[in-house]
């Protein structure tokens, strides 16, 4: 009985190159890869000049563009190099990662800040095409192009928003008589709110989606001013999070801000114990016990809040028991603390709620349970 053939994923690549020998070299490498790979097929669209390339970029959807800098070998002015013009258009107008493949790496304008991106990689024409293919696969496997590309999932959601949401409520937006400029940001906020609701629901089951750990953070941070949920790195490599209420931060009513230390995961004994037990016994019960710590649902985690690692931030537990206030206006503050990230909205709200709950707990004196139980038993015996 033959095995069911797995459908290979197609990666669309625009190759902008005017030398026939280089085109053939890349096509041969793509063909070899397609024959060997069980998971991917690279579909290369070859273009030789600036105009044809621009038409293709407008009319097609690509996962990656491979660009030769000097499309016209007679051009010596760096600013007029066809490849530079195309890269500039892609970076400013489109969402397509770029591989610059050129015989003159030194001619690439690295002074342009738009080109300083992990999504713009420069290779010499002497480099192996297999190395470039590996880079393409690494980019594609993140899901960036199929999610954020011009015809990706996000674009589909925006179409739903436009035709099924805003179109039915357009009169409401017109009724308040605001100007075009006054409508822009409210519409963008509305768009984000609708997208948030769409993306929280599993389209297949109708249940709530599980969030990726990377969604916990906005890194690098967008706001310049300090705000609730900002993660600060101290000069001694310790980490802290701002817990001053958002309303005070937004209205700048504070003189000092409240910081809580983010301690390492393994410094919390209960978590370290649960992780150790699961590593030696991969049972469901041990995994569930460890997962409770990650979801901030363990009975012993009430004084802490779990933050996952991300990029160069190692993560840790927000320690609600290790808090202090500090004046951010003092000169040494900026010498000691650097804002490296912000906890995103929904996750920041949960931290606020748990922090408030931790300090709002109000217990009662211990009751004499023995006396109560004895009384209950006595009453039961008298009823017999």
Q: Average pLDDT of the chain?
A: 84
User: Is residue 177's pLDDT more than 80?
Assistant: no
Category of 77 on φ-ψ map: left (φ > 0), alpha (ψ -120 to 50) or beta: beta
- CATH number for position 274: 2.30.30.110
User: Is residue 331's pLDDT more than 80?
Assistant: yes
Q: What is the pLDDT of residue 77?
A: 44
Rounded-to-integer distance, Cα 244 and Cα 258, Å: 5
Domain shared by 225 and 157, yes or no: no
pLDDT per residue over 83-135, tens digit each?
778 888 888 888 889 999 877 666 665 556 666 788 888 898 888 999 999 99
User: Is residue 5's pLDDT more than 60?
Assistant: no
Mean pLDDT for 215-225 is 90
3: in domain: no
Structural domain span for residue 222? 214-360
25: in domain: yes
Q: Which of 16-30, 35-49, 279-293, 350-364 has the lowest mean pLDDT?
A: 350-364
Q: Please name the residue that has the structure tokens 């768009």.
A: 191
Domain shared by 250 and 138, yes or no: no
Distances (CA, A) of 170 to 33, 42, 162, 181: 50, 43, 10, 16
Q: What is the pLDDT of residue 106?
A: 65
Q: What is the pLDDT of residue 79?
A: 47
pLDDT band of residue 162 (cuts 50, 70, 90) is confident
Domain shared by 239 and 101, yes or no: no
Mean pLDDT for 16-31 is 93
Cα atoms in the Cβ-side hemisphere of radius 13 Å centred on 323: 18
20: in domain: yes
Q: What is the pLDDT of residue 78?
A: 47
Instruction: Indicate the burial class of 184 (C-beta count within 10 angstroms; 0-12, 13-18, 19 or more).
Output: exposed
Percent of the chain with pLDDT over 90: 43
Domain shared by 230 and 259, yes or no: yes
Domain shared by 92 and 15, yes or no: yes
Token duo for residue 85: 């013009």
367: in domain: no
374: in domain: no
Q: What is the pLDDT of residue 238?
A: 96
pLDDT per residue over 263-315, tens digit each?
999 999 999 999 999 999 989 999 999 999 999 999 899 999 999 999 899 99
Domain shared by 138 and 203, yes or no: no
User: Is residue 239's pLDDT more than 70?
Assistant: yes
Continuous segment of H or E residues that includes residue 88: helix 82-93
Q: What is the pLDDT of residue 126?
A: 86
Query: Are the CB atoms for 72 and 82 separated by under 8 Å?
Result: yes
128: in domain: yes
4: in domain: no
- CATH number for position 46: 3.40.50.2300
pLDDT band of residue 364 (cuts 50, 70, 90) is low
pLDDT per residue over 194-208, tens digit each?
787 777 777 677 777
Number of domains in the chain: 3
Domain shared by 15 and 110, yes or no: yes
Domain shared by 249 and 353, yes or no: yes
Domain shared by 306 and 337, yes or no: yes
Q: What is the pLDDT of residue 75?
A: 42
Rounded-to-integer distance, Cα 138 and Cα 63, Å: 12
Domain shared by 137 and 231, yes or no: no
Domain shared by 323 and 271, yes or no: yes
Domain shared by 137 and 196, yes or no: no
């Amino acid at each position: 009985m033959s095995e069911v053939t797995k459908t290979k994923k197609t990666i669309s690549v625009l190759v902008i190159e005017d030398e026939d020998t280089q085109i053939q070299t890349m096509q041969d490498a793509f063909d070899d890869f397609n024959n060997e790979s069980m998971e991917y097929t690279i579909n290369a669209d070859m273009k030789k000049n600036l105009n044809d390339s621009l038409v293709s970029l407008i009319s097609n959807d690509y996962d990656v563009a491979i660009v030769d800098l000097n499309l016209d070998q007679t051009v010596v002015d760096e600013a007029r190099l066809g490849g530079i013009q195309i890269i500039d258009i892609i970076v400013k107008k489109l969402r397509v990662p770029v591989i610059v493949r050129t015989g003159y790496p030194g001619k690439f304008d690295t002074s342009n800040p738009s080109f300083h991106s992990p999504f713009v990689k420069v290779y010499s024409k002497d480099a192996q095409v297999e190395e470039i293919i590996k880079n393409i696969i690494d980019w594609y496997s993140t899901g960036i192009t199929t999610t954020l590309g011009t015809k990706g999932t996000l674009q589909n959601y925006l179409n739903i928003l436009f035709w099924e949401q805003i179109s039915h409520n357009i009169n409401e937006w017109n009724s308040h008589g605001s100007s075009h400029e006054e409508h822009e940001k409210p519409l963008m906020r509305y768009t984000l709110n609708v997208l948030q609701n769409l993306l929280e629901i599993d389209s297949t089951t109708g249940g709530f989606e599980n969030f990726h750990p990377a969604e916990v953070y906005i890194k690098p941070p967008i706001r310049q001013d300090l705000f609730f949920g900002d993660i600060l790195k101290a000069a001694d490599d310790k980490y802290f999070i701002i817990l001053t209420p958002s309303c005070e931060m937004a209205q700048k009513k504070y003189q000092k801000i409240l910081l809580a230390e983010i301690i390492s995961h393994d410094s919390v004994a209960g978590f370290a114990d649960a992780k150790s037990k699961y590593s030696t016994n991969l049972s469901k019960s041990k995994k569930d016990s460890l997962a409770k710590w990650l979801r901030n649902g363990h009975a012993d985690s009430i004084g802490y809040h779990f933050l996952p690692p991300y990029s160069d931030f190692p993560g840790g537990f927000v320690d609600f028991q290790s808090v202090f206030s500090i004046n951010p206006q003092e000169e040494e503050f900026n010498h000691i603390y650097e804002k490296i990230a912000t906890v995103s909205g929904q996750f920041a709200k949960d931290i606020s709620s748990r922090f408030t709950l931790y300090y709002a707990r109000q217990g009662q004196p211990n009751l004499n349970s023995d006396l109560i139980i004895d009384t209950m038993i006595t009453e039961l015996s008298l009823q017999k």
